[in-house]
Structure 1
Amino acid sequence: MKNFILITALLAAMTTHAQLQLPAQSPSAIVKQTIGLTEVEISYFRPSARERIIFGELLPYKEFWRVGANAATKITFSDDVLVDGKVLKKGSYSLLALPESNTWKLNWYTYTSTDWNDYVATEPVLQLQLPVNTRDKPLESLELHFQDITLDSATLLLEWERTLLKIPIQVQEQEQILKRIDRTLAGPSSFDYYFAALYLHESQTDLETALKYIQKVTSSKDALFFQVSREAFILRDLGKIAAAKTVAELALELSRKAGNKDFVRMNLKIINQ
């Protein structure tokens, strides 16, 4: 009985300690930065030097390091980018470094796991050879951050102790931006008119204006079944029954071609009425 009581007490003590929350020695951090139109997010853990010599001693040269602590560092790009002039497709990546005194190899892997060891035997999608810069003052905790941000580029800095690496990142969005400018300055698109008509109709705000907007869409031979159907619904609600029936017959044909049974039923209802 005494042994049972002792074991129970030990288990209770272990549970209590497991629930104890203490400051992390290597706290997590998330860095977010927009470069042009591209969103970049870095998730990593920040170890501290704590009076230790890091590179060459705590982290031996020419041995893989996960560029952080606890788990694999993760960096995500919302669009394709150029990293040190090399193409990196949009997506999430993990980093492994091979530090040396004067240069580092920085390997980029498609992110699949929080365990950095999973990447060691894997072929990187990108490998960089970067020169090591020296900081004037030592930095206590590992830091990844951006500077020199322009409309289409930024520099990702990796800093710890007296080591500083600069990773140039560039986005190629000029063509995409110019197309957006041309599209916007050309005026509203057919879908802009469609959604405006949809709102005015569903809210019963202004049916005449809703009809004017939807007819800007349906006047095109490329109008879709749900757009032509919307014109029929608006005409019906305006009491323009003959016109509603004519448009509904066209919408019925388009809905059947599209295989949309819901719109087939709705247009048949208008025609039968």
Structure 2
Amino acid sequence: MLFAAMTFTIGLQAQIQTPQPSPFQKTEQKVGLTDVTLEYSRPSMRGRALYGDLVPFDKIWRTGANMNTKITFSDEVEIGGTALKAGTYAIFTKPGASNWEVYFYTDSNNWGEPSEWDDSKVAAKVTVPAQPMTMEVETFTISFDDLKNDSAILGIVWGKTYVGVPIKFITDKIMSSAIERVMNGPTFTDYYAAAVYYFQADKDIKQAKEWMDKAMELNKKPAFYQVRQKALIYAKAGDKKGAIAAAKESLRLSKEAGNDDYVALNTKTLKEWGAM
């Protein structure tokens, strides 16, 4: 009975979880068409001096706490002029007073730094400035900043220091390939999506206008927001008359749909174009 009681007590104790001093964080972010997953542990300052003390200058740092800080890309990306294949990488850094070296390491299963650093496992390396901040961030944070269709900044923040790592994405390559693939037998949706993408990405606006016209030929009852995109593409292509006609049609359709946001958008645009 005593043994059974001890076993029960030990089992009960093993089920108790305590808060971690450096809690785990998992962030999922889509950039353009690429899925990015970031996993890391977040230490806090707790009154300690950071860089040059707790985190020494000019030495490899795990960039966080506990297991490796890991980043996973669903597609190829570019960092520091180096193409990085889709996959998972550990992020290591070498902090300096003015600049940081940031490493993307193929072995991501270490607790802290690797026991033996292997330069052949460095898939990409970039040197970026350490930017001082006026505010102080207590808990170590990595974020995705300045998001665009084909780029993002991986922001590393702790204390009064911000380090931004530029990452380029192959969104245009993926999108262009998809457009080329479907144009053998495109639907309204294909033409429409291709036109809007070309418009938003500042690509060939004449091609965007052509695709939008084909989309509208295939869909006799487009929605108000789709006609709105047609108006914007026409305006950018220099067809003001066609743009005004499309904006008026979008305004009519948005009123019928009871969408006040698009009523306001179209009204404002028509006024700017001198049509109201």
Answer whether TM exceeds 0.5 for this pair. yes
Name the CA shift for 1:145/1:115 in 2 (closer, same or farther; >3 Å): same
Which secondary structure does the structure 2 equivalent of 1:73 belong to? strand
**1:175 aligns to 2:173 (yes or no):** yes
Whether the 8 Å CA contact 1:74–1:111 is kept in 2: the answer is no
Alignment partner, residue 262 of structure 1: none
Alignment partner, residue 52 of structure 2: 56
Give the partner amino acid of 2:176: L
Q: Distance in 2 between matches of 1:98 and 1:8?
A: 52
Structural mapping, 1:111-150, within 5 Å: 111-118=107-114, 120-123=116-119, 124-150=122-148
How many residue pairs get aligned? The number is: 185
Whether the 8 Å CA contact 1:147–1:154 is kept in 2: the answer is yes
**1:21 aligns to 2:17 (yes or no):** yes
Q: CA offsets, 1:209-251, max 9 Å, x none?
A: xxxxxxxxxxxxxxxxxxxxxxxxxxxxxxxxxxxxxxxxxxx
Give the partner amino acid of 1:28: F
**1:38 aligns to 2:31 (yes or no):** no
Deviation at 1:101, TM superposition (A): 1.2
Give the partner amino acid of 1:177: M
Q: Distance in 1 between matches of 2:161 and 2:6?
A: 46
Whether the 8 Å CA contact 2:104–2:123 is kept in 1: the answer is yes
Deviation at 1:158, TM superposition (A): 0.4
**1:79 aligns to 2:69 (yes or no):** no
Give the partner amino acid of 1:32: E
Deviation at 1:118, TM superposition (A): 2.7
Q: CA offsets, 1:71-129, max 9 Å, x none?
A: 11110111111113322111110011111111111121113414233364211222221
Which secondary structure does the structure 1 equivalent of 2:65 belong to? coil
Selected match of 1:164 from 138, 152, 162: 162
Deviation at 1:18, TM superposition (A): 3.2
Alignment partner, residue 93 of structure 1: 89
Name the CA shift for 1:51/1:112 in 2 (closer, same or farther; >3 Å): closer
Runs of 4 or more, structure 1, over 6 Å off, are 7-12
- Please report the TM-score for the alignment, with normalisation by the length of structure 1: 0.61
Which segment drifts farther, 10-19 or 34-43? 10-19
Name the CA shift for 1:184/1:50 in 2 (closer, same or farther; >3 Å): same
Q: Distance in 2 between matches of 1:119 and 1:186?
A: 54
Whether the 8 Å CA contact 2:79–2:125 is kept in 1: the answer is no
Alignment partner, residue 105 of structure 2: 109
Give the partner amino acid of 1:159: V
Residue identity over aligned pairs, in percent, reads: 32
Which secondary structure does the structure 1 equivalent of 2:165 belong to? strand
Q: Distance in 2 between matches of 1:164 and 1:185?
A: 45
Give the partner amino acid of 1:133: Q
Which secondary structure does the structure 2 equivalent of 1:97 belong to? strand
Alignment partner, residue 227 of structure 2: none
Whether the 8 Å CA contact 1:64–1:120 is kept in 2: the answer is no
Name the CA shift for 1:175/1:126 in 2 (closer, same or farther; >3 Å): closer
Pairwise CA RMSD: 2.4
Name the CA shift for 1:72/1:119 in 2 (closer, same or farther; >3 Å): farther
Whether the 8 Å CA contact 1:109–1:119 is kept in 2: the answer is no
- Which segments of 5 or more consecutive residues in structure 2 lack a partner in the other structure? 188-276
Higher gyration radius (CA): 1
Name the CA shift for 1:56/1:10 in 2 (closer, same or farther; >3 Å): farther
Name the CA shift for 1:19/1:91 in 2 (closer, same or farther; >3 Å): same
